[in-house]
Amino acid sequence: SVSFDNLQRGNVMPSEQQLQEIYQHMGKVSERDFLNCGACGYNSCREKAIAIYQGKADVNMCMPFMKEKAETVSKQVLKVSPNAVISLNLDFKIQSFNPTAYKLFDINPNVQVIGEDIEHWLDVDQFVSVLTEGPIMDAISYLPKNKKYVEKRVVYDEDVQMILIIMKDVTEQQKKVEQRKSLKNNTIEITDNI
């Protein structure tokens, strides 16, 4: 295995096997990965790999590879997030809907919701106000169709023209709060009657 850290090999050319190893580290595993886009400052992925071998370039400076890596990490985070995460375009159509959102809204994961109007599940008025007034953090909202309570944050990202909704299911906690209130009210009523 070849180490790519701080190599100072001058103008020594790598073997084809060494280039293959560098390509692997660059995320170049198939022909379609060789974009030769020049974003790294080199005319081709091969020139970049040679520069990496010679210690003149960093393996992480491949923009398409880093973008793909960041997108993969983002997708994994959304996939395993305990929070429901939904993104909308400015027409309030769903652009992304993570697995926790499917569970929160009791939707079969095989049902396609991308492109659907969010108003089927949430009140659109709050999203209009986030466009003009800034982020919204609801302490607790009730979803009557699903009989669930959520903590909800709604953020507008002007740079990408997207609305991001993050919700945490707090139904169980809210039920406990209501049970304690009910118990307290009953205790007060009994005490008053005595």
Asked whether the beta carbons of 69 and 27 are under 8 A apart, the reply is yes
Asked whether the beta carbons of 84 and 166 are under 8 A apart, the reply is yes
Six-digit token pair at 27?
A: 């995320």
pLDDT tens string 88-146: 999 999 999 999 999 999 999 999 999 999 998 888 887 777 887 877 777 688 888 88
- Would the pTM of this model clear 0.85, i.e. be above it? no
So what's the pLDDT on residue 150? 93
Confidence of residue 15 (pLDDT cuts 50, 70, 90): very high
So what's the pLDDT on residue 3? 53
Distance CA 39, CA 43 (A): 9
So what's the pLDDT on residue 164? 92
Distance CA 174, CA 83 (A): 16
Confidence of residue 6 (pLDDT cuts 50, 70, 90): very low
Asked whether the beta carbons of 37 and 64 are under 8 A apart, the reply is yes
Contacts for 135 with CB less than 8 Å, ≥ 6 apart: 153, 154, 155, 156
Q: Is the pLDDT of residue 5 over 70?
A: no
Average pLDDT, stretch 5-28? 82
CB neighbourhood size of 102 (10 A) = 16
So what's the pLDDT on residue 141? 85
Question: Which residue matches tokens 């669930």?
Answer: 148
Average pLDDT, stretch 18-43? 91
pLDDT tens string 39-95: 889 999 999 999 999 989 988 888 888 888 888 888 888 889 999 999 999 999 999
Q: Tell me which residue of 22, 99, 37, 87 sits closest to 67, measured CA to CA.
A: 37
pLDDT tens string 146-192: 899 999 999 888 888 999 999 999 998 887 877 777 766 666 767 76
